[in-house]
C-alpha cells in the first residue's frame, strides 16, 4: 500500500473512533436510582446525613450480595465449560449447567433492581422528582450528543472518500492530512464545534463541501416525503434488501448441545445467537 495512503487511512480511522456520548434508551431509568447515582447528586437533591448513611449501607450490602452471586455465576460457567469440553457431551448435564448460569444471572439482576428500589425509597417524593428531572436532562444531553456524533461521522466519511479520490487521482492532499491531525485532540477535549469546523475546512479543501446526501437525514428535522401507498414503501424496502446473504442460508439449530455436536463433527466454528425470556411452554432445548 502507498505509505501516504496508509498514513492517511490510519489518521481517518483514529478520527472516526473519537469518543463521544451515546444516547442509551432505558424505559425504566426514570423510576430507578442506584446508590452511587443518588450519592453523586446528594447536594442537588438535598440529601440529609441520615439518608446518606442509609444509601451507603444499601450500596455496601448490594456489593457484597453481587460479589457472591458473581462468584456463583463464574463457578457455574466453569462447570459448563468442563462439560462441553468432553468428547461425549452429556446433554442433560449441560442443560442443567446452563440453567445454573442463567439462575445466577437472574439473581444478579434481582439484586440490582432490589437495591435501586430500596435506595429510591429512602428519598422523599420531592427528592425522587428531582432525581427524575436530573435523569431526563441527562438523557436529553445524551440524545443531542448522539445526533452530533452522527453528523460528524457522516462528514468524516465524506472527508475519507474525498481523500481516497485525491489519492486515486495521483494527488497527495498533504494540507488536508495536516489539518485533520487537529481533529482527534479537539474531540477528546469535548470541543465538538471546533472539531466540526475542521471537517468543514477539510471538505472545502477537497471540493466536497456541497456533497450532501439528497435525502434529508432524520436528525435534520426535515421530514421525508410520505409514501404514496404501502406498495411503494414495500418496493423501496425490497430495493434495499441484499439477496443471497449467507447467514439466511444457515440451518439454525435451536439446541446449544446439537450445535456443539455438529460443530465438532463438521470441524466448523459456532455462530451463537442468544435470546432471553423464551416462553414457558417452549419445548425446544
pLDDT digits (tens, 9 = 90+) for 190-210: 777 888 888 888 888 888 776
- pLDDT reported for residue 117: 93
Q: Per-residue DSSP letters for 70-132?
A: HHHHHHHHHHHHHHHTSSS--HHHHHHHHHHHHHHHHHHHHHHHHHHHHHHHTS-HHHHHHHH
Average pLDDT over residues 137-148: 64
- Whole-number percent of the chain with pLDDT over 90: 22
Answer yes or no: is pLDDT of 144 > 70.
no
Residue 285 lies in a domain: no
In this predicted structure, what is the pLDDT of residue 142? Answer: 59
For residue 27, tell me if it sits in a domain: yes
CB atoms within 10 A of CB 198: 22
Provide mean pLDDT across the span 116-120.
Answer: 92
The Cα 3–Cα 7 span in angstroms is 6
Residue where the block lists cell 416525503:
225
Higher pLDDT, 141 or 101: 101
Which residue range is the domain that position 188 belongs to? Answer: 3-210
The answer as to whether 62 is a domain residue is: yes
* Predicted confidence band of residue 242 (pLDDT cuts 50, 70, 90): low
Q: Provide the pLDDT for residue 24.
A: 44
Query: Under DSSP, is residue 269 helix (H, G, I), strand (E, B) or coil?
Result: coil
Give the pLDDT score at 50.
93
Q: Which residue has the higher pLDDT, 203 or 261?
A: 203
Domain count, the chain: 1
pTM, rounded to two decimals:
0.43
pLDDT for 37 equals 85
Q: Is residue 200 part of a domain?
A: yes
Tens of pLDDT, residue by residue over 212-230, are 444 444 444 444 444 445 6
**pLDDT score of 54 more than 90:** yes
Place of cell 450480595: 65
Q: 269 lies in a domain?
A: no
User: Is residue 107 very low, low, confident or very high in pLDDT (cuts 50, 70, 90)?
Assistant: very high
Tell me the backbone φ, ψ of residue 90, rounded to 5 degrees.
-80, 110
For residues 181-195, average pLDDT? 78
> The cell 477537497 sits on which residue?
206
Whole-number pLDDT of residue 119: 92
User: What pLDDT digit, counting tens, does each position of 14-37 carry?
Assistant: 455 544 444 445 567 778 888 988
Amino acid at each position: 500500500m502507498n505509505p501516504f495512503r496508509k498514513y492517511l487511512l490510519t489518521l481517518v480511522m483514529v478520527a472516526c473512533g473519537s469518543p463521544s456520548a451515546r444516547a442509551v434508551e432505558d424505559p425504566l431509568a426514570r423510576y430507578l436510582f442506584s446508590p452511587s447515582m443518588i450519592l453523586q447528586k446528594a447536594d442537588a437533591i438535598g440529601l440529609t446525613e441520615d439518608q446518606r448513611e442509609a444509601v451507603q449501607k444499601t450500596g455496601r450490602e448490594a456489593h457484597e450480595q453481587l460479589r457472591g452471586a458473581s462468584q456463583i455465576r463464574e463457578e457455574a460457567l466453569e462447570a459448563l465449560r468442563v462439560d462441553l469440553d468432553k468428547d461425549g457431551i452429556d446433554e442433560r448435564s449441560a442443560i442443567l449447567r446452563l440453567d445454573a448460569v442463567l439462575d445466577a444471572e437472574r439473581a444478579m439482576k434481582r439484586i440490582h433492581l432490589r437495591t435501586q428500589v430500596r435506595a429510591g425509597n429512602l428519598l422523599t417524593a420531592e427528592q425522587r422528582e428531582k432525581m427524575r428531572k436530573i435523569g431526563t436532562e441527562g438523557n436529553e444531553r445524551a440524545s443531542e450528543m448522539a445526533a452530533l456524533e452522527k453528523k460528524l461521522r457522516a462528514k468524516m466519511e465524506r472527508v475519507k472518500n474525498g481523500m481516497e479520490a485525491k489519492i486515486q487521482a495521483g494527488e497527495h492532499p498533504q494540507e488536508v492530512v495536516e489539518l485533520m491531525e487537529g481533529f482527534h485532540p479537539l474531540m477528546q477535549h469535548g470541543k465538538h464545534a471546533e472539531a466540526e469546523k475542521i471537517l468543514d475546512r477539510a471538505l472545502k479543501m477537497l471540493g466536497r463541501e456541497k456533497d450532501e446526501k439528497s435525502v434529508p437525514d432524520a436528525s435534520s428535522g426535515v421530514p421525508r416525503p410520505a409514501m404514496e401507498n404501502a406498495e411503494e414503501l414495500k418496493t423501496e424496502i425490497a430495493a434495499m434488501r441484499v439477496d443471497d446473504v449467507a447467514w439466511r442460508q444457515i440451518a439454525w439449530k435451536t439446541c446449544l448441545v446439537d450445535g456443539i455436536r455438529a460443530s465438532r463433527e463438521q470441524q466448523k466454528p459456532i455462530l451463537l445467537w442468544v435470546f432471553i425470556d423464551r416462553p414457558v411452554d417452549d419445548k425446544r432445548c
